[in-house]
């Protein structure tokens, strides 16, 4: 995995070639796809009681609770976010200390199909990690990530991602499917959230 620190317009880490072995990740995604839930059941942000996202998803820790199943996705995401080789790339000392202090995590599998999007929102965590995946050849356009307060857009790439501070407002523009003959032609997003809980 290649990690690049970017300072502007807001500190974040860009991730390339995130998963070295995609087979177990895809096997799990294909198994989970039929269990994906509507936005109301996956912690969507709201604005004036209106759902801000249109996609389907599944919180993985909740889905696997008490099952004894060892999830390749959860293991891989944890190792990406908390790997010392990842953490060392944070150039801002207080951000690096926050990452080293986090003591809870959760993860969400999302799928963006035709017209699916996420309006501007922020996450209730300290750090958000997003990893984008789709079946090749790519059968959609759009679905890019935008930090709305800076008019800063990151074009999504397969098996790539980002780690950023969760309070930063971000959005996903609507996915447009251009080849409907592909099975599950949209884009998946593995979202990892982590934070700090007072244990006192």
Enumerate residues 6+ apart whose C-beta is below 8 A from 78.
105, 192
Helix, strand, or coil here: 166? coil
DSSP readout, 70-116? --HHHHHHHHHHH-HHHHTT--SHHHHHHHHH--EEEEEEEEE-TT-
Give per-residue pLDDT as tens, 80-114: 999 999 999 999 999 999 999 999 999 999 999 99
Mean pLDDT of the residues in the chain = 95
Give per-residue pLDDT as tens, 138-159: 999 999 999 999 999 999 999 9
pLDDT at 200: 61
pLDDT at 50 over 90: no
Enumerate residues 6+ apart whose C-beta is below 8 A from 185.
113, 134, 135, 139, 140, 177, 179
Q: Which fold has domain 2-195?
A: Jelly Rolls (2.60.120)
pTM score, whole prediction: 0.96
pLDDT at 139: 98
Give per-residue pLDDT as tens, 24-43: 999 999 999 999 999 989 98
Higher per-residue pLDDT: 69 or 2: 2
**Which is nearest to 145 in space by CA: 160, 124, 127?**
160
CA atoms within 13 A on the CB side of 132: 24
**Which is nearest to 44 in space by CA: 102, 110, 106?**
110
For residues 180-184, give the mean pLDDT. 91
pLDDT confidence band for 48 (50 / 70 / 90): low
| Segments making up each domain of the chain, as ranges | 2-195
pLDDT confidence band for 198 (50 / 70 / 90): confident
Element (H, E) at 139: none
pLDDT at 136 over 90: yes
């Amino acid at each position: 995995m290649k990690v690049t620190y970017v300072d502007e317009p807001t500190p974040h880490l860009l991730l390339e070639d995130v998963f070295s072995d995609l087979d177990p990740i895809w096997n799990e995604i294909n198994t989970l796809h039929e269990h994906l839930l509507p936005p109301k059941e996956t912690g969507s942000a709201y604005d004036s009681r209106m759902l801000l996202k249109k996609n389907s998803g599944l919180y993985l820790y909740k889905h696997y609770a008490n099952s004894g199943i060892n999830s390749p996705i959860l293991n891989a995401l944890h190792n990406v976010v908390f790997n010392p080789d990842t953490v060392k790339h944070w150039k801002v000392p207080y951000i690096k200390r926050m990452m080293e202090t986090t003591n809870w995590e959760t993860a969400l599998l999302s799928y963006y199909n035709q017209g699916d999007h996420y309006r501007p929102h922020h996450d209730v965590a300290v750090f958000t990690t997003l990893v984008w995946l789709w079946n090749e050849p790519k059968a959609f356009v759009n679905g890019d990530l935008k930090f709305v307060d800076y008019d800063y857009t990151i074009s999504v790439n397969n098996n790539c991602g980002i780690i950023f501070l969760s309070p930063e407002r971000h959005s996903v523009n609507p996915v447009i499917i251009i080849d409907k003959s592909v099975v599950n032609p949209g884009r998946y997003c593995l979202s990892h959230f982590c934070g700090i809980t007072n244990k006192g």
